[in-house]
C-alpha cells in the first residue's frame, strides 16, 4: 500500500493530517444546526454537543500521551470495522508494535466509576443515590478486537497464525480528575492490566507492561501489519449520528401532517367551524413533539389529557383515533 514508512523510531500517528477532524466536523455541524433546529430538539442537540466535546477532549488527551511514548509503533485512529452481528465497531486507536496489536478504547466519564467483582463497571450519575451497573468498556473492546481479528483473517487468511495471541485490549480513562476506583480485592490482575487511569498511571507504563510480558514473541513486520489493519477499516461504515436529528424532524412532520389531515377530515364530517373542538395546530404540534421524543408516553387516550388544549371531551371523542395515528407511525 505504501502508506507507512519502513522503519520508525517513535510513535507515528496515521493519518496525522486528519486527526479527529470527524469529531470537529460533527460538533461544528451541530452548532450550525442549532440556530435553525426546532425547539423540541434544542436540548438534545446541546447534550450531543456536550458529549461529543467530552469524547474529543478525551481522545485528544490520550493521543498526547501515546505520541510521546518512547515506543516505536504505528498509531492508527478512528477505524471502522463491521461487527459479526451487524453494526460497526468504531475503534479509537490501534497501536501496532513489532510484538503486539493493542486495541484502545477511550472513555471520559464525568461521573464517579467503580470497577468491582468480575470486572463489572458501576457509575454514580448526577443526583443518583447509588451506583448503577453500566456497560463494561472491557467487554466493548473485546467485541472490537473480535471484529478486527475477523476482518484481518477474512481479508488475509494466512495472517491468523501471526496475530493469534497478539491482540490485546487497553481501556483508558481520559478524565485525569476523575480516577476510576478499582477494587483490588475483587478485580483480577488480568482485568487491572487492561485499565489505565490517566490521573495516576502513564499510558506508556501500560503499553510497556504489555510489551515486557510478551517480549519472547517473534518480532512482526509492523509496517506490513499496519497496512493490513488500516486496509480493513471502511470509513463508509461510520455511524451518521447526525441522522437521528433529521429522522426525528421527518417523523415529527409526518405525525403532525397525519394529525392535521385527520382533524380536517373530522371538521368536514362533523361540520365544525373551529379546529380547537377537535385538535388545534398547537395541540397537534405538542403531540408530535412528545411522540418523537418518547414513543412510550402516549399509550392511550387518557395520556392525551396532559396535552394543552385537550380535555375530557376531546379525549373521549377523538382520543382513540389520535392514538391509532401514533401507533401507525411507531414503525
Helix-helix angle 39-67:203-213, to 10 degrees: 60
Domain ranges of the chain: 12-237, 243-328
Confidence of residue 201 (pLDDT cuts 50, 70, 90): low
Q: What's the order of all strands across the beta sheet hosting 167-173? A: 12-14, 74-82, 88-96, 101-107, 167-173, 195-197
Residue 60 has a pLDDT of 85
With contact defined as beta carbons under 8 Å apart, do 169 and 141 qualify? yes
Q: Before 15, cis peptide (omega within 30)?
A: yes
> DSSP characters for 15-74?
TGGGTTHHHHHHHHHHHHHTTTS-HHHHHHHHHHHHHHHHHHHHHHHHHHHHHTSSS--E
Q: What's the CATH fold of domain 243-328?
A: DNA polymerase; domain 1 (1.10.150)
Interval 20-69: pLDDT, tens: 566 777 788 888 888 878 888 888 889 888 888 888 888 888 888 888 88
Confidence of residue 79 (pLDDT cuts 50, 70, 90): very high
Element (H, E) at 248: helix 243-270
Cell of 40: 423540541
Tell me how far CA of residue 307 lies from CA of 14, 195, 210, 275, 316, in angstroms: 53, 48, 59, 15, 14
pLDDT over 60 (residue 146) = yes
Residue 257 has a pLDDT of 94
Q: Is 130 left (phi over 0), alpha (psi -120 to 50) or beta?
A: beta
pLDDT over 70 (residue 200) = no
Which residue has 478499582 as its cell numbers?
182
Distance in angstroms between the alpha carbons of the first and the last residue of the chain = 45
Confidence of residue 115 (pLDDT cuts 50, 70, 90): very high
Coil, strand or helix at 200: coil
Coil, strand or helix at 104: strand
Give the CA angle between residues 228, 232, 235 to the nearest 5°.
Answer: 135
pLDDT over 70 (residue 206) = yes
- The mean per-residue pLDDT over the stretch 204-223 comes to 89
Residue 76 has a pLDDT of 93
DSSP letter assigned to residue 246? H
- When computed from its CA atoms, the radius of gyration of the chain, rounded to whole angstroms, is 26
Rounded to two decimals, what is the model's pTM?
0.77
Mean pLDDT (the chain) is 88
- The mean per-residue pLDDT over the stretch 247-259 comes to 91
CA-nearest of 249, 267, 274, 254 to 325 is 254
Which residue has 470537529 as its cell numbers?
24
pLDDT over 60 (residue 19) = no
Q: Taken in order 4, 8, 12, 18, is the CA torsion positive or negative?
A: negative
Residue 237 has a pLDDT of 80
Which residue has 403531540 as its cell numbers?
287
Residue 127 has a pLDDT of 81
**Strand residues in the chain grouped as ranges (E):** 12-14, 74-82, 88-96, 101-107, 113-115, 121-123, 132-134, 167-173, 181-182, 195-197
Amino acid at each position: 500500500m505504501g502508506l507507512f514508512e519502513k522503519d520508525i523510531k517513535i510513535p507515528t500517528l496515521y493519518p496525522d493530517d486528519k486527526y479527529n477532524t470527524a469529531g470537529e466536523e460533527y460538533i461544528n455541524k451541530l452548532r450550525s444546526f442549532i440556530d435553525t433546529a426546532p425547539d423540541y430538539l434544542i436540548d438534545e442537540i446541546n447534550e450531543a454537543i456536550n458529549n461529543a466535546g467530552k469524547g474529543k477532549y478525551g481522545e485528544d488527551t490520550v493521543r498526547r500521551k501515546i505520541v510521546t511514548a518512547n515506543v516505536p509503533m504505528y498509531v492508527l485512529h478512528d477505524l471502522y470495522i463491521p461487527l459479526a452481528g451487524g453494526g460497526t465497531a468504531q475503534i479509537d486507536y490501534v497501536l501496532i508494535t513489532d510484538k503486539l496489536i493493542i486495541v484502545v478504547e477511550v472513555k471520559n466519564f464525568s461521573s464517579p466509576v467503580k470497577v468491582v467483582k468480575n470486572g463489572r463497571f458501576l457509575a454514580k450519575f448526577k443526583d443518583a443515590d447509588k451506583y448503577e451497573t453500566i456497560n463494561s468498556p472491557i467487554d466493548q473492546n473485546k467485541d472490537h478486537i473480535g471484529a478486527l481479528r475477523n476482518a484481518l483473517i477474512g481479508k488475509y487468511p494466512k495472517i491468523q497464525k501471526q496475530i493469534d495471541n497478539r491482540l490485546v485490549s487497553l481501556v483508558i480513562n481520559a478524565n485525569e480528575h476523575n480516577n476510576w476506583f478499582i477494587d483490588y480485592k475483587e478485580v483480577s490482575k488480568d482485568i487491572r492490566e487492561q485499565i489505565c487511569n490517566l490521573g495516576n498511571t502513564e499510558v506508556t507504563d501500560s503499553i510497556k507492561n504489555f510489551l515486557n510480558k510478551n517480549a519472547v514473541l517473534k518480532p512482526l513486520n509492523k509496517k506490513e501489519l499496519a497496512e493490513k489493519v488500516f486496509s480493513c477499516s471502511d470509513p463508509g461504515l461510520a455511524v451518521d449520528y447526525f441522522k437521528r436529528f433529521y429522522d426525528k424532524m421527518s417523523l415529527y412532520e409526518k405525525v403532525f401532517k397525519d394529525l392535521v389531515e385527520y382533524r380536517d377530515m373530522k371538521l368536514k364530517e362533523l361540520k365544525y367551524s373551529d379546529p380547537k373542538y377537535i385538535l388545534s395546530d398547537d395541540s397537534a404540534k405538542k403531540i408530535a413533539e412528545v411522540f418523537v421524543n418518547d414513543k412510550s408516553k402516549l399509550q392511550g387516550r387518557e395520556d392525551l389529557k396532559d396535552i394543552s388544549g385537550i380535555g375530557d371531551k376531546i379525549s373521549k371523542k377523538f382520543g382513540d383515533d389520535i392514538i391509532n395515528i401514533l401507533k401507525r407511525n411507531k414503525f
